[in-house]
Amino acid sequence: MAKVAFIGLGVMGYPMAGYLKTKGGHEVTVYNRTTAKAEKWANEYGGKFAETPRGAAEDCDFVFACVGNDDDLRSVTTGPDGAFHGLKAGSIFIDNTTASADVARELYAAAKEKGCGFIDAPVSGGQAGAENGVLTVMCGGDEGDFDKAKPVIDCFAKFVGLMGSSGAGQLTKMVNQICIAGVVQGLSEAIHFAKKADLDVEKVISAVRGGAAQSWQMENRWETMEQGKFDYGFAVDWMRKDLGICLQTANETGARLPVTALVDQFYAEVQAMGGNRWDTSSLIARLENADRK
């Protein structure tokens, strides 16, 4: 059993922290910007809550964070009352936020100055993966820190891998989001085409799902996409944040992402339709919205 802190109790962080307590048996202290939510978690799981990130991190062996973006991450780590001010020497900070590789490297260096470890460890699997404890975790950092942290991360994961040095976890998550963007757009166009051609979409999916066209998105989203239901996963606002990171990093590295850039603009159109909180499969809505104009 280790002393663990978890900072950020959103739709992902809340169940992730729960698995650290229930599956791992760790002593867990949580922090959330809304204290009432932290108190609710503590009552539900039998853990503790702190008033500040610093208070949560004090005397902990491992400190996790899952917040919104680079600025949020800086705020809860190196900002006033940030967790880095409470880290003890030898502790390891594991960041599950999807953020930039630049901020990962920045915080890695800051942690090393304090004699601590830092692992960028963004996750994939969505809210359902977090609630079921089967997330994929892509890590960047030092091998020694990773080896110590992996058994703890395993509490909420089905796969945990070290992708390389600091920042490599975030870069791998960018690859993940680039893949998803293209697949969802392709599936949206395929379903839209089938409907316009007066095909039975269920029969069509049954025919193609066993071959090369198969994907997680097809298996889990085709039916809700056809029905125009978009409250089953990762929000468009967050996907645009992630794709923005991908496109900025591509600009810095010289990578060319023409499809990703186009899909990002398609998501902007979904936002303009009021779909900010719809899930990423809502790309099909812009196609069908164009039909109604």
Q: What is the pLDDT of residues 191-219, one digit of tens each?
A: 999 999 999 999 999 999 999 999 999 99
| Dist. CA 235–CA 159, nearest whole Å | 23
pTM value is 0.95
Q: Is 292's pLDDT higher than 90?
A: no
Query: Is 48 labeled as catalytic in the residue annotation?
Result: no
Catalytic site residue from 21, 148, 150, 173:
173
Question: How far does Cα 201 stand from its chain's mean position?
Answer: 31
- Distance (Å, whole) CA 290 – CA 91: 53
Give SS3 for 96: coil
pLDDT for residue 224: 96
Is the distance from CB of 258 to CB of 264 less than 8 angstroms? no
Q: pLDDT at position 232, please?
A: 84
Contacts of 132 (CB under 8 A, 6+ apart): none
